[in-house]
Amino acid sequence: MNRKILASFLMSLLVVTVGACSDAKTTADAPNTTDQKAQTPSAQSTEMAKDDAQSTTRAKQLDADIRAKEQRNNAMGNPSNRNDSDIASEVRSKLEANIPNGNLTVSSKDAVVTVSGTVSNLEQLTKIEKLAMEIKGVKSVSINAIVAAKPN
């Protein structure tokens, strides 16, 4: 009985959280849309995002959030038909956990994910598509991100 109440509460909390995350960005300096021109992130915002995203607690939280969203979608009856905002949120979480100093924006339309912004190096840029495709429901990934020039 208590497990059912707890599960119901957690599902409600996730629904509210997902609804609040309609403008998914990896950092405060990330572009507001995928149409904005990429800018180099400030050293302070990059360091703050890196510290937060690289903590093991944060990585576990992000993975748990992704699993919970996928379980909720499976429970709703159609695991292959995913909501675009859920897909974008999950991809953003996946990128945040694995590309901590990225300055990325994620959007999704008809399960086609668009990632824009900047990353620190080519290795991070090449990881974007693989990470995004790990999220259930993603059909393809369009990468508009670039490697940011290091400030002098």
Identify the pLDDT of residue 133: 94
Confidence of residue 37 (pLDDT cuts 50, 70, 90): low
Query: How much of the chain exceeds pLDDT 90, in percent?
Result: 26
**Residue 68: other Cβ atoms inside 10 A:** 16
Least confidently predicted of 27-36, 62-71, 131-140:
27-36
Two structure tokens written together for 18: 């997902």
Predicted local distance difference test score (pLDDT) of residue 146: 92
β-strands 140-147, 112-119 pairing: parallel
Residue 110 has a pLDDT of: 92
Of residues 11, 108, 23, the one with CA closest to residue 67: 11
In DSSP terms, 135 is beta-bridged to none
What token pair was written down for 131? 């990470």
Q: Which two tokens stand for residue 24?
A: 């998914």
Going edge to edge, which strands form the sheet with 103-109? 103-109, 112-119, 140-147
Q: What are the boundaries of each domain within the chain?
A: 2-147
* pLDDT tens digits along 111-123: 999 999 999 899 9
Please give the structure tokens belonging to residue 100. 């901590």
pLDDT band at 101 (very low <50, low <70, confident <90, very high): confident
pLDDT tens for each residue of 17-27: 665 555 555 56
Distance (Å, rounded) from C-alpha 63 to C-alpha 1?
26
- Model pTM? 0.59
Residue that wins the pLDDT comparison between 141 and 85: 141
How many residues does the structure list for the chain? 152
pLDDT computed for residue 137 by the predictor? 87
